Structure 1
Amino acid sequence: MSPGRQLERRSSLPVLYTRGTHYEVGFDIGRTFRGIIPNYLAASKSFHDSLLKHHGEGDGKAAYDVTLEHLQKNFPQYIRELQGIADGARVPFRHLMVLHLVTSLRPGVQTSAPEPNLGCTSVSLNKDGEVLLGHTEDAEAEMLNRIYIVEVEITEEEPQGRWGFKKEHFTALCYAGEIPGFCMGYNRHGVTFSINVLRPREIFSGKTPRHFLCRALLAADSLATAHRILEDAGVGAADGFSANVIHLAKDGNRTFQNIEVAPGKADGSGSQVSTHVIENGEHYIHTNNYQHLTVDEHLGSLIVKSSISRRARAEVLPPPTSRERLVAMLSDDQDPVHPIFRNDDPVFVTTALGLFDVVRREWTLWMKNPKKDAPLFSLPMTFEWDE
């Protein structure tokens, strides 16, 4: 079969267990998924070629260079990790790096350029006996059947990057060719999260791309550390996103938050951040528009239109006050234009549906709509105090 031909939706999701330095685990990811990563790049050749062109000349190259320089200073371990993925997959580093960048910009200059993204849906439930975070992982159709899970244990001899992490241990769903953290995952410190892309009107190069802030979130050992990572003092996020975060403590206490992040100002004051706490007995629905952080966003973009439509549909469904109702909401495909679970769209699809159940200590994944298919599997959620 040619690389560009789209496979029908498969009931398959590979899982890799790997241990080593950042470069070593990156290499193992790239080597193990050598068939998937170049295949995805070939399937999305037109889009990928446009990214390479944008970031290979003029303003785009300047944006690429200044962003990479910044990342090599503040997050060199994740650049080495991405280099490992590229080396293992036998693709040029630049071909993967451009997947982690925003549209072509001059260094430090804002843009109003939209991006083709219809977004994900996250639903949270915080009540005694059921602490749940469900998420549809939506992406371009070329990403269907080209995702995987990694369980990673990293040990370095010296503190790494601006936050000085030496050890990391996490499990995460990944897009082909991208560093972990941008979809959903959890770590052994009890931090579990999913990510929603957001579309602020102003985005910047020379700041921290959201992929790298989300990657650092996988190393957070507390909510305080998570907030410090997302605030990114002195630099700030280059673009926007939302993190739906559960922190489970050793004594069983939990904190449930939605954290919205917007780009920092040009003066380098750090990200704009707003936190909404999901209290005991509450549920919360988040799509791909800002709900509590006041930000000028692309109201006319597809991602915002889709978000408004998905949220409106969710509001008329039975409230997600149980596991069954939460999964039913994320499985809903009745809206003919912007369904919550997007199954057959030739451009943008739900690639997977995940449910973190903190009480049961399991992460359940569906590759097909739960209305019609059973979960593919569940992974146990283990924490450092279990070991």
Structure 2
Amino acid sequence: MNDIGAVPNGRSGSQFSHSGSQDEARRNVVPIIYTRGTHYEIGFDIGRTFAKMIQDFVHRYRPLNEVYLSVYNTEPGRKVYEETLECVKKQYPQYVREMEGTADGSEVPFYKLFLMHIDDIMPNVAANGLQGNTNAVGCSSIICNQPGQEILGHNEDALRETMNHWYLVDAHIIELGYQEEKFTSLSYAGFLPGYTMGYNHHGLVYSINTLSAKTLRSGRTPRYFMTRALLGVENYVQAQECLRNEGYGAAEGFSVNMTFLDQEGDRMFHNAEVGPVEVGEMSSQLSMQTASPGENLFHCNKYLRLKVAEVEGLIIDSSIHRMQAINRHSPPKNRKEIMEILSDQTDDDFRVYQDIRPDDYVKTIATGIFDCIAKTWSIYTDKPNTNEPVVVLPLQLKDTNSIFYRK
């Protein structure tokens, strides 16, 4: 079963915040689908409900159309595709079925969706590490663990064409032979839920930052599948096991900012840096950092602890500039100060809130504020320091009285 809602922010006047075509202008709307069923069924419902949006996004997504498809049609590229698909089928056949459902529901070929999920792995490996993501894509996350203010704030940055091509998935998955899953995640059109920000009914609250290692791995686990699996974890130990991905290891890099709402004792936030599996190893490189009460933690799109060789280019330059801008502010002690930092546009080249020119290659498409005391997730579609959230969602945890609850 599924339902869909679009929650407007109630402002009068134009829904577009700057001039330009309606497709490219910032829209103040958060589409949400509520769906329950098997992995294939929830994928199909997502695909059917957002078919036009997914088709449009696939048509205009530059990395797919300018790079991935051409590499896919080469022998080295096809080899990487097949090895990586086999890897995820062995580990996560249920998530492959979700993708198949989305492909069928949206009437978009499966191979195009899978190419988007393995993103730079194929061109990087096929070119022996000489090609990778150097664009200024990425995100900025701020953890504030202060008395009475336990907050995770996150700017979701993405390629310009992703603007207005995302939605929230609220899914309850019940399928014989697999664990029950219930989560809400911001998802790019056509992608598996997980690789942005969200929470699950075990109390996991998290955000993701892209990290761009110089050398990626074929036949290992793409980050989109690892973060999809993260939506099913019940505690911090399981989260670390998921990220280590023993037996395979990550094909590429990313960072996770997280906490568990139901954990015992003091509030603890964690940042995980994940690196591609090293040659001869069978698990991801992993470094954990904890923000205890009274501490803050910031992360953008550059490795801060793991010694991983990174690409050169705009994504690293952007991350350095954004971290410098964040550090020019006083350490945030509350939600208002976090929103001020996430709205910062003081840098001439790379802004924390990326949206100055209509033709900017990268845009901040949404901002999320997770309040771990109030147990709410506020989502903004424009700068949070001058706008109200479009929607405020309650963080709903597992109901042990539900007829669907099973040990």
Which interval holds the TM-score relative to the shorter structure? over 0.9
Establish whether residue 113 from structure 1 lines up as the match of residue 131 from structure 2: yes
Instruction: Tell me the CA shift for residue 336 of structure 1.
Output: 2.0
C-alpha separation between the residues in 2 aligned to 1:297 and 1:334?
26
Partner of 1:259: 272
Q: Deviations for 1:317-372, whole angstroms, at most 9, x for unmatched residues?
A: 12211110001100111212100001134211000000111101100010011233
Checking the alignment, whether the CA contact within 8 Å between 1:125 and 1:132 is kept in structure 2 is yes
Partner of 2:330: 318
C-alpha separation between the residues in 1 aligned to 2:263 and 2:130?
44
C-alpha separation between the residues in 1 aligned to 2:122 and 2:150?
40
Establish whether residue 37 from structure 1 lines up as the match of residue 37 from structure 2: no
- Secondary structure in 2 matching 1:193: strand
Checking the alignment, whether the CA contact within 8 Å between 1:110 and 1:203 is kept in structure 2 is no
Question: What aligned pairs does 1:331-346 form with structure 2 within 5 A after superposition?
Answer: 331-345=343-357, 346=359
Checking the alignment, whether the CA contact within 8 Å between 1:242 and 1:258 is kept in structure 2 is yes
Equivalent residue for 1:27, pick from 40, 44, 62: 44
Partner of 1:239: 252
Partner of 2:380: 366
Q: 1:252 to 1:121 in 2, by over 3 A?
A: same
Instruction: Tell me the CA shift for residue 56 of structure 1.
Output: 2.7
C-alpha separation between the residues in 2 aligned to 1:290 and 1:91?
35
Establish whether residue 309 from structure 1 lines up as the match of residue 321 from structure 2: yes
Q: CA-atom RMSD, angstroms?
A: 1.9
Checking the alignment, whether the CA contact within 8 Å between 2:64 and 2:116 is kept in structure 1 is no
Checking the alignment, whether the CA contact within 8 Å between 2:267 and 2:293 is kept in structure 1 is no
C-alpha separation between the residues in 2 aligned to 1:179 and 1:244?
19
Checking the alignment, whether the CA contact within 8 Å between 2:249 and 2:282 is kept in structure 1 is yes
Partner of 2:148: 129
Partner of 1:62: 79
Q: 247-256 vs 326-335, which deviates more? A: 247-256
Establish whether residue 294 from structure 1 lines up as the match of residue 294 from structure 2: no
Identity of aligned residues (%): 37
Q: Deviations for 1:69-112, whole angstroms, at most 9, x for unmatched residues?
A: 11111110110001111111111001111111124259799514
Establish whether residue 78 from structure 1 lines up as the match of residue 92 from structure 2: no
Establish whether residue 194 from structure 1 lines up as the match of residue 207 from structure 2: yes
TM-score of the pair, normalised by structure 2: 0.89
- Secondary structure in 1 matching 2:174: strand
Gaps of 5+ in 2: 1-20, 402-407
Checking the alignment, whether the CA contact within 8 Å between 2:36 and 2:172 is kept in structure 1 is yes
Q: 1:310 to 1:63 in 2, by over 3 A?
A: same
- Secondary structure in 2 matching 1:82: helix
Checking the alignment, whether the CA contact within 8 Å between 2:30 and 2:167 is kept in structure 1 is yes
- Secondary structure in 2 matching 1:254: coil
Instruction: Tell me the CA shift for residue 114 of structure 1.
Output: 2.6
C-alpha separation between the residues in 2 aligned to 1:384 and 1:124?
24
Question: What aligned pairs does 1:194-213 form with structure 2 within 5 A after superposition?
Answer: 194-213=207-226
- Secondary structure in 2 matching 1:174: strand
What amino acid is the match of 2:148?
A: G
- Secondary structure in 1 matching 2:354: coil
TM-score of the pair, normalised by structure 1: 0.93
What amino acid is the match of 1:194?
A: S
C-alpha separation between the residues in 1 aligned to 2:302 and 2:271?
13
Checking the alignment, whether the CA contact within 8 Å between 1:62 and 1:107 is kept in structure 2 is no
Gaps of 5+ in 1: 160-165
Say how many residue pairs are matched: 377
C-alpha separation between the residues in 1 aligned to 2:165 and 2:394?
23
Q: Deviations for 1:204-233, whole angstroms, at most 9, x for unmatched residues?
A: 111000000000000001110000010011
C-alpha separation between the residues in 2 aligned to 1:196 and 1:377?
23
Q: Deviations for 1:171-224, whole angstroms, at most 9, x for unmatched residues?
A: 000011100000001000011110000011221111000000000000001110
- Secondary structure in 2 matching 1:137: strand
Partner of 2:163: 144
Checking the alignment, whether the CA contact within 8 Å between 1:105 and 1:205 is kept in structure 2 is no
Equivalent residue for 1:157, pick from 173, 176, 183: 176
- Secondary structure in 2 matching 1:384: coil
- Secondary structure in 2 matching 1:94: helix
Q: 1:330 to 1:85 in 2, by over 3 A?
A: same
What amino acid is the match of 1:188?
A: H
Instruction: Tell me the CA shift for residue 294 of structure 1.
Output: 1.8
Q: Deviations for 1:234-255, whole angstroms, at most 9, x for unmatched residues?
A: 2100000000011122657533
Checking the alignment, whether the CA contact within 8 Å between 1:111 and 1:204 is kept in structure 2 is no
